Amino acid sequence: MGGAEGIRRLVHRFYTLMDTIPEAWDVRRMHPEDLSGSEEKLFKYLSGWLGGPPLYEQEFGHPRLRARHLPFTIASPERDQWLMCMRIAFDECLPDTPLRSRLWDAVEGLADHMRNRADPAA
């Protein structure tokens, strides 16, 4: 992934996309106006999640991701918007390798696990 700089590049691109793609509006509005804190937290989380220094845990304790996201409505549409931004960031920032494919599968599983509301009725 390119170490810490690779993770930073990925996370920065992800938040830039979330901030600029109209189709990501529902997930974007869950975040503060200034995304720099969110960007830094995701970088720290991914650092530890990917086997690097556990920066997030050192500063904030156990991630408890699902519990921390319970105040936000996350159903399939929000998950899909988040994944859309992350997929584009993956495609632009990470080389196409078997590791990227395995990592993407894990990211999809994590995003799916974050859903905490039933999908809206059609």
Can you give the pLDDT of all 122 residues of the chain as single tens digits? 789 999 999 999 999 999 999 999 999 999 999 999 999 999 999 999 999 999 999 999 999 999 999 999 999 999 999 999 999 999 999 988 888 899 999 999 999 999 999 998 76
Q: Compute the distance between CA of residue 79 and CA of residue 113 in angstroms, rounded to an integer.
A: 9
Instruction: Name the CATH superfamily for 3-113.
Output: Globins (1.10.490.10)
Q: What is the pLDDT of residue 46?
A: 95
Residue 60, CA atoms < 13 Å, CB-side half-sphere: 15
Q: What is the pLDDT of residue 21?
A: 97
In contact, 61 and 25? CB cutoff 8 Å: no
d(CA 67, CA 56): 15
Residue 1, pLDDT score: 74
Predicted pLDDT of residue 99: 87
Pull the structure tokens for residue 25.
């509006």
Whole-number pLDDT of residue 122: 62
